[in-house]
Structure 1
Amino acid sequence: MAVKATFQTRSMSAELNLQSKLPLPSSDSQIPVLGLGVCVSSRCEQSVLSALEHGYRSVDTAQIYYNESETGTAVNKFLFQNPSVKRSDIFVCSKLWEVDLSRSDMPTSFDELCNAGPWPLNSLEAGHTTYSRDGALQGLDKSLKISGLDYFDLYLLHNPRPGATARHEAWLGLQDAFRSGKTKAIGVSNWSPKHIDDLMAHSDVGILPAVNQIEFHPWNQQRVIVDYCRSKGIVVTAYSPLTQGKRLGDPVIQKIAEKHGKTAAQAVLRWCLQMGISVIPKSDRDARIAENADVFGWSLDSEDMAEIEKLDEGQKGNIGEWDPFAWE
């Protein structure tokens, strides 16, 4: 049965700040409302350090980005250089890819991966998936080893593609990791309401996903998923909130940004925050990292919010490949 989209706006006050957090269900943890999406870049380590120096306390990486090592190195380096900051002050999220990337026949870098053709699906068909109970737990252990961290604050199943049975088995592995303290919270990415309902219907699933990380921005507002997650208390985190810059020239956004003396990127990020969404914009440029953090101490008014809401194109507005509703 389809979930009706009501999409009630959550207006946040101007008092929201860089230290603001959202509580995570099934966990004692909280996720910062703004974090850094770690770029696939030669400046990865430096960009994480830059973000932490600018006051960010959340970084998001993944196995498939091939930058867990640089991310962990930057976090540990920052902690060493700033002894007043504790590991518990920094929220680190990573994600399990559906295929074991440590296999000898797998790409060894993101650039190589992009030129590898349809290898993930071929590998899935050959049974080389990490989406099993043991596979998920082993995958998380590999992420910890690569990153040099003792635990993650959040660990996600990166996508729903391997199917319902595999998703269920992988989730059991993440539950095991959560209960053993290897991750403080567990969640999913690119999942539809049906995927979550199917998962929670299993008697051996006792932990609700804390987060559903999805593409979210004014041109794809994911109304069905957002309303569903709100009804369950699941935090929605927006990746690609700035559409990789592809839609920031929109005249509506430009007008609103000019009205507030802000950039188009800042207007979009502020809109996301006022929708109750946590955001992880990517950048490897120091100036842009600082700009993306300047979204506090001011707010969009109800007229601005209504104008941006009209920009929604649904899944047609996606700039990435993941449509959560395309997978069984």
Structure 2
Amino acid sequence: MSNLPQPRKLNNGREIPELGLGFWMTPESKSSDIAYNALKVGYRHFDSAQWYMNEKGVAKGILRWLKEDPKNNKRKDVFLTTKIKEPNQGYENTKRSLKESLEKIKGLGYFDLVLIHSPQTNKATRLETWKALQEAVEEGTVKSIGVSNYAVVHIQEILKWEGMTIKPVINQVEINPWLTRQEIVNFCHNNDIEVEAYSPLTRGKKLNDPTIVKIAKKYGKEPAQILIRWSLQKGFIVLPKTTHTERLQSNIDVFDFTISDEDIASMTHDDEYQVFCSWDPTTYRG
């Protein structure tokens, strides 16, 4: 068993590390050091967004690592994501804002993945955004494209659209043992779309849950590691985040054990719907 995240194959043949580092609410001033230190302990997957205002900082940390050892540290081994925020959606806006995002990561050359951040616009705008992203893949500035916070109805818009030439590779949504989103997960997996779980640590709200604490003690792990491992064993690509350098190591130390099926079942609450983020755009219909 490898002690580092393994690659997961996407529906376009490209690969993505199964565990990444989220950068939501990470200040630009801290993001460079966090990205650099994360690379030093084994992370190769970074999740930024236009809304986060830290694309430049994350890129700066990656560039520092690349320049440190050009012989061994290669751009192709790092997976970088950004997301198109709602005000930047639509065909022309997406093309313009993506150009601005690419300028912020100058030196890295391309994004490995670009997602539509949420469906909170309208059908015409969402499909125009998808058209612009497809063109970015054709131009080579983006390698893969997908969506975030999309419900089944929103994904179907793309899949049924006559203008679709590239299928989404990923849907990134908030998922944890109290928010399992079975309908979305089943639909994505049935359509060969990977599911990425953000806020897998429930924003810290469930780290003292008695069942989680008990299972953590059983495996000699921390509650956060148990929650991350749950996502991995459920088949999700998982995106824990931290602004504390010392926690980078523990969040990636989840590949030397396996939680039993019985314990996974005792952690999983399919009948609950606990959203720990301040929004749930999957419920948006417009």
Structure 2 residue aligned with 1:126:
none
Query: Is 2:79 aligned against 1:91?
Result: yes
Distance 2:2 2:185 in 1: 21
Give 1:312 deviation, angstroms.
Answer: 5.1
Name the amino acid aligned to 1:87: R
Normalising by structure 1, report the TM-score.
0.83
Q: Would you say the 8 A contact 1:18–1:33 is kept in 2?
A: no
Distance 2:14 2:238 in 1: 17
Q: Identical aligned pairs, as a percentage?
A: 37
Distance 2:118 2:39 in 1: 28
Unaligned 5+ runs, structure 1: 1-14, 100-129
Structure 2 residue aligned with 1:307:
266
Structure 1 residue aligned with 2:191:
232
SS in 2 for 1:279: strand
Name the amino acid aligned to 1:305: I
Distance 2:132 2:6 in 1: 30
Query: Is 2:21 aligned against 1:36?
Result: yes
Structure 1 residue aligned with 2:46:
59
Normalising by structure 2, report the TM-score.
0.95
Per-residue Cα deviation, 1:271-326 (whole angstroms, up to 9, x for no partner): 10001101111111121111100101110001111101137512x44433124023
How many residue pairs match? The answer is 282
Q: Would you say the 8 A contact 1:24–1:234 is kept in 2?
A: yes
Structure 1 residue aligned with 2:121:
162
Structure 1 residue aligned with 2:160:
201
Distance 1:311 1:298 in 2: 24
Query: Is 2:251 aligned against 1:292?
Result: yes
Distance 2:190 2:270 in 1: 24
SS in 2 for 1:43: helix
Per-residue Cα deviation, 1:64-115 (whole angstroms, up to 9, x for no partner): 000011011111111001221110000000011111xxxxxxxxxxxxxxxx
Pick aligned residue for 1:78 from 61, 65, 69? 65
Name the amino acid aligned to 2:44: R
Pick aligned residue for 2:94 from 110, 133, 136? 136
Unaligned 5+ runs, structure 2: none
Distance 2:103 2:50 in 1: 12
State the Cα RMSD in Å: 1.4
Structure 1 residue aligned with 2:214:
255
Name the amino acid aligned to 1:326: Y
Structure 2 residue aligned with 1:5:
none
Query: Is 2:140 aligned against 1:153?
Result: no
Structure 2 residue aligned with 1:319:
277
Name the amino acid aligned to 2:14: S
Query: Which 4+ residue blocks in structure 1 deviate beyond 4 angstroms?
Result: none
Distance 2:271 2:228 in 1: 15
Query: Is 2:139 aligned against 1:180?
Result: yes
Structure 2 residue aligned with 1:105:
none
Query: Is 2:9 aligned against 1:23?
Result: yes
Q: Would you say the 8 A contact 1:272–1:278 is kept in 2?
A: yes
**Could you say which structure has the greater relative contact order, defined with CA pairs below 8 angstroms and 6 or more residues apart?**
1
SS in 2 for 1:166: helix
Distance 2:245 2:271 in 1: 30
